[in-house]
Amino acid sequence: MSNSSVISASNLDLTFQTNDGPVHALKDVSLEVGKGEFVSFIGPSGCGKTTFLRCMADLEHPTGGTITVNGVSPEKARMARAYGYVFQAAGLYPWRTIGGNIRLPLEIMGYDRADMDARVARVLELVELSGFEKKFPWQLSGGMQQRASIARALSFDADILLMDEPFGALDEIVRDHLNEQLLQLWARTEKTIAFVTHSIPEAVYLSTKIVVMSPRPGRITDVIESPLPKDRPLDIRDSTEFLEVAHRVREGLRAGHIDD
Amino acid sequence: MRSVIPVLTVVLGIFLLWYAAAIWLNAPWAYDKATRSGEVLTTQTLVADTWSQEKPKLPAPHQVGAEIWKTTVEKKITSKRSLIYHSWVTLSATLLGFGLGTGLGIALAVGIVYNRTMDMSVMPWVIASQTIPILAIAPMIIVVLNAVGISGLLPKAMISMYLSFFPVVVGMVKGLRSPDAMQLDQMRTWNASASQTFWRLRLPSSMPYLFTSLKIAMAASLVGAIVGELPTGAVAGLGARLLAGSYYGQTIQIWSALLMAAALAALLVGIIGLIQRVTLRRMGMA
């Protein structure tokens, strides 16, 4: 394990006991994620990508192997508020304004008032929602709501951002726009991002490292270090390198399916 | 405004049925009187008689209306014959019982949601408590509390509480459990304490359930207060008016107390409905 490793998993196993017998959600999963990396997890449903992310967040407990986040157990990392988690649904409280929703984790963590206000203003600016602080969630579009939920995850300055298909429910055009914004945000904040998706273009466009997974049992079939430059305009998706990476991801996904 | 005509039509229909039923039910007594005095009743005099008897089987609406007018507007509020006075007696017990019942209901619901032992054990008792006929247990509550020196408002409020805590428990257990797994996971990622999760997520999420329960609880409280007034020897309150009316065959008095109780219930439930509308709209949940 290198010193710069933020998330480190080795031989991780997770078996759920169900009425139909044990389900191997994760089997022998090993991965190192370095500081400042943008890692995407891609694979068909049931491949354990979300389960893996939830293990990092201490929302699931592995039945075997070891995993550390920031060098400590996921539980300690969670207690230290080491990560921000963005769920598939924005999950904003309808009775709170956008500002109030972003303030929610800050209130829980006991920040003082002036600090909260400054942080809310800063993260709203980061996701380009300045001026929407006093609006209620229902007054915002789905894409804006998801941006607000990202702002909320950023508000307490965790170094790690865990994102579970955050744009899965949005249409293609909004998704493109948010992907572009997310890359800019990543460049500005230098966070380590783990990103679950089932879209090949999204994974290739965003990531420095793409982890291809396959189901039954959930495992890693390929880890691709992206050759793409850090600065990525949207039209990079028509370049040869991009298409080559996308091709390799597709091959990896197919291979996972064949021995199914 | 669109609902005015349909509502008026229904009200009119009820009045027609009511007047017709009054003729039908009170006619035997009218014939009885006529036979004894040797009179012959025409249709007109029959109808007039059935709608103006002193102790009719079913008083006509205008008789009840006149009685209500007489006992509310024309009587001083302090008078023992004022329906407002009796309504106030019942209302105070209702509101106290409603408050106690709501408090008990929410407390039990919190216990059930947060404590596994309570989750497994309390609910069957709560349900069992409601299978006991309130008429059977009310006199015992009154007598027992009276024996330990508690009388007046509180025993009646206890019966109201007994009826009103139930819908609150059921509704609030559901309401406090209404946040989905994702919202609870989210709280966990922020390392929120149980009380932070309660005040910031569970309690606000339960508001729509709470208000629905409160409406039922309020109506149940009123019934409880009225029932609680029956075994006390009919001193004061709408229940006492009902009981006194039935002792002396004062059907007009019974009906006016009944209508007063119904109006009171409608008013109380309406007020909760109004608070519900305003609150939920402000919370973005309506």
CATH number, residue A168: 3.40.50.300
Identify whether residues A166 and A126 lie together within a single domain. no
Query: Which pLDDT tens digit goes with each residue over A6-34?
Result: 898 888 889 888 888 888 888 888 899 98
Range of the domain at A142: 89-157
Distance in Å, alpha carbon of A105 to nearest chain B alpha carbon: 6
Q: Residue B100's domain is classified under what CATH number?
A: 1.10.3720.10
C-alpha span between A195 and A203 (Å, rounded): 8
Q: Do A102 and A176 belong to one domain?
A: no
Side chain identity at residue A203, one-letter code: A
- Answer yes or no: do A57 and A77 share one domain: yes
Same domain, A140 and A169: no
The pLDDT of residue B81: 80
The count of structural domains within chain B is 1
Q: Specify the pLDDT at position A1.
A: 42
Residues A162, A150: Cα–Cα separation, whole Å: 10
Quick one: A98 and A212 in the same domain? no
- Asked whether the beta carbons of residue A109 and residue B190 sit closer than 8 angstroms, the reply is yes
Q: Which residues of A touch B283 (CB under 8 A)?
A: 94-95
**Chain-chain contact of A87 with B200 (C-beta, under 8 angstroms):** no
Q: Is pLDDT of A2 > 70? A: no
Contact: B191, A79; criterion CB under 8 Å? yes
Tell me, yes or no, whether A202 and A182 share the same domain: yes
Say which of B186, B192, B285 has its CB closest to residue A85.
Answer: B186
CB–CB contact B182 A89 (8 Å): yes
Q: What does the mean pLDDT of chain A come to?
A: 88
Nearest CA in chain A to B279: A95
Nearest chain A Cα distance for residue B215, angstroms = 22
Residue B72 lies in a domain: no
Close Cβ partners of A44 (under 8 Å, ≥ 6 residues apart): A198, A214, A215, A253, A256, A257
Domain, as residue range, for B227: 83-282
Kindly state whether residue B187 falls inside one of the protein's structural domains. Answer: yes
Q: Where a domain ends, among A157, A187, A203? A: A157
**pLDDT value of position A41:** 94
Does the pLDDT of residue A260 top 50, yes or no?
A: no
Q: Do the domain assignments include residue B206?
A: yes
Tens digit of pLDDT at every position of chain B (286 positions): 678 899 999 999 999 999 999 999 999 998 888 889 888 888 888 888 889 888 898 999 999 999 999 888 888 777 778 888 889 989 999 999 999 999 999 999 999 999 989 988 998 999 998 898 888 888 888 888 888 888 778 888 999 999 999 999 999 999 999 999 999 999 999 999 999 999 999 999 999 999 999 999 999 999 999 988 887 665 788 888 888 888 888 899 899 999 999 999 999 999 999 999 999 998 888 6
Phi-psi region of A70 (alpha: psi -120 to 50; beta: other; left: phi over 0): left
Nearest to A95 among B186, B191, B285 (CB): B285
A145 touches chain B (CB under 8 A): no
Q: Which of A84, A88, A108 sits opposite B196 (nearest CB)?
A: A108
Contact at CB, B189 and A57, closer than 8 angstroms: yes
Task: Say whether both A52 and A77 belong to one domain.
Answer: yes
* Whether B192 and A57 lie within 8 Å, measured CB to CB: no
Residues A164 and A76 in one domain: yes
Distance from C-alpha of B233 to C-alpha of B240, rounded to nearest angstrom = 7
Whether A153 and A237 share a structural domain: no
Q: At what angle do helices B116-131 and B83-114 cross, to 10 degrees?
A: 150
Residues A255 and A231 in one domain: yes
Q: Would the CB atoms of A87 and B185 count as touching at under 8 Å? A: yes
Tell me which residues of chain B have a C-beta less than 8 Å from any C-beta of chain A. 182-183, 185-193, 196, 200-201, 204, 282-285
Which DSSP string do the residues of chain A spell out, in sequence order? --TTEEEEEEEEEEEEEETTEEEEEEEEEEEEEETT-EEEEE-STTSSHHHHHHHHTTSS--SEEEEEETTB-HHHHHHTT-EEEE-SS----TTS-HHHHHHHHHHHHT--HHHHHHHHHHHHHHTT-TT-TTS-GGGS-HHHHHHHHHHHHHTT--SEEEEESTTTTS-HHHHHHHHHHHHHHHHHH--EEEEEES-HHHHHHH-SEEEEEETTTTEEEEEEE--S-S---GGGGGSHHHHHHHHHHHHHHHHHHHT-
Q: Is B200 close to A57, i.e. CB distance below 8 A?
A: no
pLDDT at B187: 94
**A93–B189 C-beta distance less than 8 A:** no
pLDDT tens profile A124-138: 988 888 899 999 999
The Cα of B184 is separated from the nearest Cα of chain A by a number of Å equal to 10
ipTM of the complex: 0.87
Angle at B224 between CA B223 and CA B226, to 5 degrees: 65
Which residues 14-73 of chain A have a CB within 8 Å of chain B?
57-59
What's the pLDDT band for A59 if we cut at 50, 70, 90?
Answer: very high
CB contact under 8 A, A95 and B189: no
Cβ contacts below 8 Å, chain A against chain B, sum to: 51
The partner residue sitting opposite A59, judged by closest CB among B188, B190, B201, is B188
A89·B204 Cβ contact <8 A: no
Q: Are residue A59 and residue A101 in the same domain, yes or no? A: no
Domain count across chain A: 2
This prediction has a pTM of 0.83
CA distance A242 to chain B (A): 34
**Position B52 in a domain:** no
Tokens of B127: 């349900």
Residue B76 domain-assigned?
no
The Cα A163–Cα A166 span in angstroms is 6
Residue B169 lies in a domain: yes
pLDDT band at A257 (very low <50, low <70, confident <90, very high): low
CB contact under 8 Å between B284 and A94, yes or no, is: yes
Task: Write the residue in B183, B191, B196 that is nearest to A78 by C-beta.
Answer: B191
**Residues on chain B touching A156 (C-beta within 8 angstroms):** 190
Which residue, A157, A180, A206, sits at the end of a domain?
A157
With CA atoms as reference, the chain A residue closest to B194 would be A108
Q: Which residues contact B78 (CB under 8 A, 6 or more apart)?
A: B85
Residues in A closer than 8 angstroms to B188, CB to CB, are 58-59, 78
Write down which residue in A157, A172, A196 finishes a domain: A157
- Chain B residue with CA closest to A93: the answer is B201
Residue with tokens 């012959």: B40
Chain A interface disruption, residue of B187, B190, B193, most A CBs within 10 A: B190
Q: Which residues of B touch A76 (CB under 8 A)?
A: none
Cβ of B192 within 8 Å of Cβ of A108? The answer is: yes
pLDDT of residue A258: 55
pLDDT of residue A3: 53
Residues A121 and A135 in one domain: yes
**Mean per-residue pLDDT, A148-165:** 91
Find out whether B241 and B257 touch, Cβ atoms under 8 Å.
yes
